[in-house]
Structure 1
Amino acid sequence: MKKIIIAAIFIASGILNAQENKGVTKIEKGTWNFTTDLSLYNFDQSYDQIKNESSTFLFNITPKLNYFIDDNLSLGFGIGYNYRNIDNIDNNQSLTTQNTNTFSFNSYIKKHYFIASNLSFFLQGEITYQTGKIKNSFQNSSNTLTSDINTFFIGIRPGVSYFLTNKIAIQAYFGSLGYTNDTIKNNSNSLKENQSRFNLNLNPSQLIFGLSYYW
């Protein structure tokens, strides 16, 4: 899946680069921008000593709209959908599946620094709120446990943006640095679990690609 996505990006780059591109070294004040961010992540892991296996799949899509309040400086807002599936098989060959579905609401400020014609490095300061449900199901059992999850994140994401034309750019975020708070409420007993952390996250699941249109 990853190879197909990367290949599609390069093919699109070649086609769009054939269009007229006078070179972009600044995004002017008053410019609008619409971006769709997309992230796909799949990871399998096994533990030979205890004969456990796990498989993780993540998907995220977030459309965003932002406005440049100054040259190379924009404010924006996005609404996204996030899906996570984790399958665990223990040494008794029992399967546990966890599905998480959330919607996210994101506001941010982004500053571009052009390091070459058509190529900019950017820093995005953001505040994100996610809300949704976690469902745990078990093999050979009809019981399903559900929980409500609410996540708050404030931090910084670095990235790069490359202009294929004067109006179209591709971008990639890599990692994040910030504070995250998760509140999980078990629907069966109303118990709440609160988790807070401040960290630098360089997990490959934090790699996000985007396609942007400027006008």
Structure 2
Amino acid sequence: MKKHFWQLSFACALLAGTTAQAQTQLSQGNLLVGSDISNFNLNFQKENTAFSMSLAPKLGYFIKDNIALGGYLNIDFATSDGATDLGYGLGAFGRYYVKNKSLEFVKNSRFFIEANAGLAGRNISVKDGGKTNTNGLGIGIGPGWTYFVTPNVGLEALLKYDIAAGFGNAPTSTSLNLNVGFQIYLPGKKMQKQLKSDITR
């Protein structure tokens, strides 16, 4: 009986710690790691096979509650009928999670604003040998929405306007992209100590 009592106590403490973590996944000191995914397509045709893929892995650190800074890598690739389109980006991003209950129309969700700046480029070559390229500074900004399926995992959508400007035969390149993806929220040392303390009480 005593053994079952301690097992039940441990389970309750663990649940309480998980609930606390669910409420503080956006707290100072925590990490986020994940990726945006968009434009993934594979199309087989008799005379033409088309493939496209866009990935944007990110790693961020919450410098304050609801504010994360970090780095990102963008990779865009598409090929169809002898033409290729290769885009890239490398730089820093900032994200602010809006703390407004009136905007949380779905439980366990948050709106956010994200901006980024860094190196960016797009290089397009077509079947007849023509090429278009832009390589230089890349800037992007847009709103997003995260739904927390668990205390540590969020599924998200991000609508971002991106512009690249610099060198090449096309001085500027702009795009409006709707990305979907996921982020994993990892507790920092302070949160880990708090969870351990809650469990061992």
For 1:124 and 1:36, how far apart are their aligned partners in 2? 14
1:60–1:162 CA distance, 2 compared to 1 (3 A)? same
For 1:151 and 1:106, how far apart are their aligned partners in 2? 12
Does 2:168 match 1:173?
no
Structure with max Cα Rg? 2
How far did residue 135 of structure 1 move? 2.0
Mapped contact 1:167–1:213 kept (Cα < 8 A): yes
How far did residue 86 of structure 1 move? 5.6
Does 2:114 match 1:121?
no
Structure with greater strand percent: 1
Question: What do residues 108-148 of structure 1 show as CA deviations (whole Å, max 9, x unaligned)?
Answer: 1100125254200000011142236322213xxxxx34454
Say which of 175, 180, 194 aligns to 2:171. Answer: 194
Question: What is the aligned residue count?
Answer: 157
1:152–1:57 CA distance, 2 compared to 1 (3 A)? farther
How far did residue 98 of structure 1 move? 2.8
Q: 2:55 maps to which residue?
A: 61
TM-score for the superposition, normalised by structure 2 = 0.65
- Among the aligned pairs, what percent are the same residue? 22
Does 2:135 match 1:135?
no
Structure with greater helix percent: 2
For 2:76 and 2:33, how far apart are their aligned partners in 1? 19
Q: 2:199 maps to which residue?
A: none
**What letter corresponds to residue 141 of structure 2 in structure 1?**
I
Mapped contact 2:113–2:142 kept (Cα < 8 A): yes
Q: 2:38 maps to which residue?
A: 39
TM-score for the superposition, normalised by structure 1 = 0.61
Q: 2:94 maps to which residue?
A: 109
Mapped contact 1:134–1:149 kept (Cα < 8 A): no
Secondary structure of the residue aligned to 1:62 is strand
Unaligned runs of 5+ in 2: 1-14, 42-49, 187-201
Q: Aligned-residue CA RMSD in angstroms?
A: 3.0
Say which of 10, 19, 22 aligns to 2:19. Answer: 22
Q: 2:137 maps to which residue?
A: 152
Mapped contact 1:108–1:127 kept (Cα < 8 A): yes
How far did residue 179 of structure 1 move? 4.7
For 1:136 and 1:195, how far apart are their aligned partners in 2? 19
How far did residue 25 of structure 1 move? 4.2
Q: 1:80 maps to which residue?
A: 74
Q: 1:210 maps to which residue?
A: 181
Mapped contact 1:25–1:117 kept (Cα < 8 A): no
How far did residue 158 of structure 1 move? 0.6
Unaligned runs of 5+ in 1: 1-19, 43-55, 88-96, 139-143, 185-191
